[in-house]
Amino acid sequence: MSPNRQSVSEFVHHLLSEHGYTQSIDDDDSLILSGLLDSLAVVHIVVFLEETFDIDFAEVYFDQTSFDSVNQILEFIDQNSQER
């Protein structure tokens, strides 16, 4: 597992557990559109991505569906991280 995948996966699982969801998920499972995570969780994801991957959201277009799965978050990181 890549360091980015592990970091994102751990963060998402932490958010899910805070929302009372304790079952495992696959990296393609819907997080937002399914209702597992809410808009406040999206804010937490944005802050996490800013701090961990140096993504400047003032310069990046996104909507919450950009973060609907672990794989979509990883794709977003690949496209927008300043650490490239």
Nearest-angstrom CA–CA distance, 65 and 32: 7
Report the C-alpha gap between 49 and 76 in whole angstroms: 10
In Å, what is the CA distance from 66 to each residue of 1, 23, 82? 21, 22, 17
Average pLDDT, the chain: 92
How far apart, in whole angstroms, are the C-alpha atoms of residue 20 and residue 51? Answer: 25
Domain total of the chain: 1
- CATH number at 21 reads 1.10.1200.10
- Which residues 6+ apart lie within 8 Å of 7 measured at CB? 52
Q: What is the pTM of this model?
A: 0.90
What is the distance, to the nearest Å, from the Cα of residue 55 to the centroid of all Cα atoms in its chain?
Answer: 12
Q: pLDDT value at position 81? A: 85
Q: Residue 33's domain spans which residues?
A: 3-80
pLDDT in tens, 11-24: 999 999 999 999 99
Supply the pLDDT for residue 83: 58
Length of the chain: 84
pLDDT exceeds 50 at position 80: yes
